[in-house]
Amino acid sequence: MSPTRLPFSEQLAEASRFILKGDYFLVVSHVNPDGDAISSTLAVGEMLAQLGKHYILINDNSIPDKFVFLMGNRQIADYSTKPQLQFERIITVDCADFQRVGSMKELFTAGIPLLNIDHHPTNDYFGFAQLIQPEAAATVEILYGLIQELGTSWNQELASFIYTGLLTDTGGFRYANTTSHVMRIAAEMLDHGAMGNEIADRLLERLTMPQVLLLQKALISLSFALHGQVSWLSVSHEDIGELHVSNEDMDGLVNYPRNISGVEVGMLFKETAPNQFKVSMRSAGKVNVAEIAHFFGGGGHIRASGCTVEGSFLDEVVSKVLKEVGRALL
């Protein structure tokens, strides 16, 4: 973490100045965006709209279908379609390092002022200005503070964005990051009209058919090591292709090994391309999985992290990762 980290109130003041001074913004989140990434993008867009700014919301790829209900008549452009972009400032949300934006990193040229808003403890403080609070449960929790600082007003949609990021990054208000502050903000968002039950139903309960068919296959791969303290599932590139599963279809899979009693570290190995494995890690508390992911060039949170590891076979990648997990469990 940067030794020059400013107190949060000063970071908020700097972020406000950054926003008030600019006119044309690009708002960017990370590849394979989750609920917090999408909600944060939309919430920043709403703030900018209220301030009369010009802005483009954009992601490296298209937005997963299940989030479309949140967007109303808003658009999040798909960078892979090479849209026309006019901007003078960039705001990144929920990105721990600039690699997380995917191919959009080519826009991050020297001289373009960038504001980095994030809650990952592994954030490397890229950009010109930072609004970073690792204690925050979600990036939207930080945005709640920014909305208050800027004095923009609440409406049902903005409240739904903030509520969604809190709901999804706390696993439905269940993880250790579910503080009383999170619950107070969530309650306030319900008062502002956020549709709590609809959001939970669409994002946490509903399953797609490919998702369940993949679960059926993945459970066969369930494995254990280190006296049952580590467990994992894997999905092959073939299965992903055959079942037409999307990234978000694979979202909850890592919870199966994670939730087994006695398991300290639960993992999912997804073969995203031949010889390339995306690893999701979840900790029950003993192990800091952000450090393990960081070792492999990824990052994340103490209890939830991810990285990409190359290897010709699944077994090779599993043993590389197990070696580091074993070390952490010593």
Nearer to ligand 5GP, 193 or 252 (CB): 252
CB of 123 to ligand 5GP, least distance (A): 9
Q: Going residue by residue from 139 to 178, which x/- string records binding to Mn ion, judged by CB under 5 A? A: x-----------------------------x---------
- Alpha-helical runs (H) found in the chain: 8-21, 35-50, 68-71, 139-150, 156-169, 180-191, 196-200, 209-219, 237-242, 255-258, 289-295, 314-329
- Kindly list the distances between the CA atom of residue 48 and the CA atoms of 23, 35, 44, 96, 206, in Å, as whole numbers in the listed order: 9, 20, 6, 22, 32
300 binds ligand 5GP per the rule CB under 6 A: yes
Q: Does 251 bind Mn ion (CB under 5 A)?
A: no
User: How many residues sit close enough to ligand 5GP to count as binding (CB under 6 A)?
Assistant: 14
- Residues 70-109: x where in contact with Mn ion by CB under 5 A, - otherwise, as a string: ------------------------x---------------
Nearest to 316 by CA among 234, 219, 245, 241: 234
Give residue for tokens 């699944």: 314
Q: What angle do CA 97, 99, 101 make, to 5 degrees?
A: 95
Supply angle C-alpha 279, 240, 167, rounded to 5.
60
Contact flag: residue 118 with Mn ion (CB under 5 A): no
Identity of the residue, 169 or 251, whose beta carbon is nearer to Mn ion in the bound complex: 169
**According to the binding rule CB under 6 A, does residue 270 interact with ligand 5GP?**
no
Contact status: 307 vs ligand 5GP (CB under 6 A)? yes
Among 50, 178, 272, 308, binds ligand 5GP (CB under 6 A): 308
Q: What's the CA gap between 304 and 279, in Å, rounded?
A: 11
Residues paired with residue 78 on neighbouring β-strands, in sequence order: 59
Give the residues lining the site for ligand 5GP (CB under 6 A): 96-97, 100, 122, 280, 298-301, 304-308
